[in-house]
Amino acid sequence: MNKLIELGKKHNIDIEIFKEKNNSTDISTLNDKVKLFQITNVTSYIIKAIKNNRCVKIVTENIKNVDEIINTLEEIFNTSDNKNSNKLCSGNIKNKVKDYEKINYTKVKEDLLSLYNLKDKYSCIKTIETDYSHAEIGNFITNKLNNCDMEDETYLNSYGVSITVEKNNQTRVLYIAYYTKEYNFNEFKEYLLKKLEYLLIKLDSTSVETKKYKVLLANNVVASILSTFSASFQSKGIYLNESVLSDKLNKKIFSDKITIIEDSPNGILNSNFDSEGTLKKKQVLVDKGIFVKEINNIEYAMKLEKDATGNANGVNNLYIEKGNKTFDELVTELNNGIIIDEAYGFHAGVDKKTGNISVQAEGLLVQNGKITKGLNMIILSTNFFEVFTNVIEVGNDLSKFSLSVSTPSLLLDNITIAGKE
């Protein structure tokens, strides 16, 4: 990296290099066989270059050919007039991976293969596929202009399972992704068994009458909604009037029960600075329903004359502050209503400017506090603001199926579910 930086100086180019490395060990199984055991090492670079007060960036996986990179930068400078973000970072931080229990991959294989035993209990299961990965991730930033030398390392464990079920001439597939900091197969398995239980109930499903219901949104559905609108908290969309939150800063937008926090240093995939070298910190974005803070990168911080928040890559650990009640307690409080435990089509069924949501869903009917039957062929028809305003209770079950967004289940009132006419 130093060779490229020194060559840049000879061309009057100040260069900063952001290096990301990802070393992972991956295991996959199919039924009672291990089908993959693989170790992968991937490194990529973001090269930020400044010349005559103009800034350009390129992304590459190889910086050995420094002459070619310099020529590419010169060509871009000749056609670019970008004067944004034209400063290099000046930090000096070293965050090494702390000691953690080394992964016993023989035990991991045994754990994954043990899921095949579910076929003994559930004869309708036809195939079980699993994926596991332990990743060690490092981010590094260096430049000579400001003597910047930053290093940030972290790690995580991810689990995935795909179970194919056949019953009553139906074929259904349950897919689950799950993340933990430390290896915790039992926690993952407990979540899997609950989702499998619900899937089996939904093999005998019906629809419901179109009307407003008391609704319990499972944590994964709430996370999908918040994730879909996560960019709305960024200054860029607000500045360009493309965000559903464009005119909402310092206004009450949600229920008092909703507090939303961005806390990159303390997430599962924790990090202390972004790809621009801005230090990250815990930030309250929505405080008891009031939208109090935007997030941004250096470019839009400069445009708005604000401090950069360390979100050059968007949100990193966005979560809703959890409540006190378990999911089962929320089901009891729901009493008579609908659990929505899966929803699909957020890429097409959402208007990010108005906040309108209309997505296909499935779930469970609850009568007198008990789950009585499965539901399908229904539509969750609501709005971003309605979801986080019509809150009766907030659960304590923060989701773990996404690295960047985590939410509890929400018990809501007066939510439209469209079904049979």
- What is the structure's pLDDT at 246? 96
Assign 330 to helix, strand or coil: helix
> CB 122: neighbour CB atoms within 10 A?
14
Crossing angle for the helix pair 66-79 and 2-10, nearest 10 degrees? 50
Residue 83: pLDDT band (50, 70, 90) is: low
What are 171-187's pLDDT values in tens digits?
999 999 999 999 999 99
What are 369-404's pLDDT values in tens digits?
999 999 999 999 999 999 999 999 999 999 999 999
Residue 412: pLDDT band (50, 70, 90) is: very high
* Diameter over CA atoms, the chain: 76
- What is the structure's pLDDT at 86? 63
- What is the structure's pLDDT at 97? 65
Task: Give me the residues paired with residue 125 across strands.
Answer: 165
What are 272-309's pLDDT values in tens digits?
899 888 999 999 999 999 999 999 998 899 889 999 99
Can you list the domains of the chain with their CATH numbers?
2-199 (3.30.2290.10), 204-421 (no CATH)
pLDDT beyond 60 at 84? no
- What is the structure's pLDDT at 88? 80
- What is the structure's pLDDT at 99? 63
pLDDT beyond 90 at 158? yes
Query: Has this prediction a pTM greater than 0.85?
Result: yes
- Mean residue pLDDT across the chain: 93
pLDDT beyond 80 at 101? no
Count of positions (residues) in the chain: 421
- What is the structure's pLDDT at 78? 87
pLDDT beyond 80 at 95? no
Q: Which residue is listed with tokens 């060690």?
A: 136
**Average pLDDT of span 63-84:** 85
pLDDT beyond 80 at 264? yes
376: its two tokens: 């399908």
pLDDT beyond 80 at 85? no
**Average pLDDT of span 69-87:** 80
| Pair 231, 350: CB distance under 8 Å | no
- What is the structure's pLDDT at 91? 73
| Pair 333, 325: CB distance under 8 Å | yes
* CA atoms of 218 and 397, how far apart (whole Å): 9
Closest CA to 400 of 264, 267, 212: 267
* CA atoms of 188 and 151, how far apart (whole Å): 31
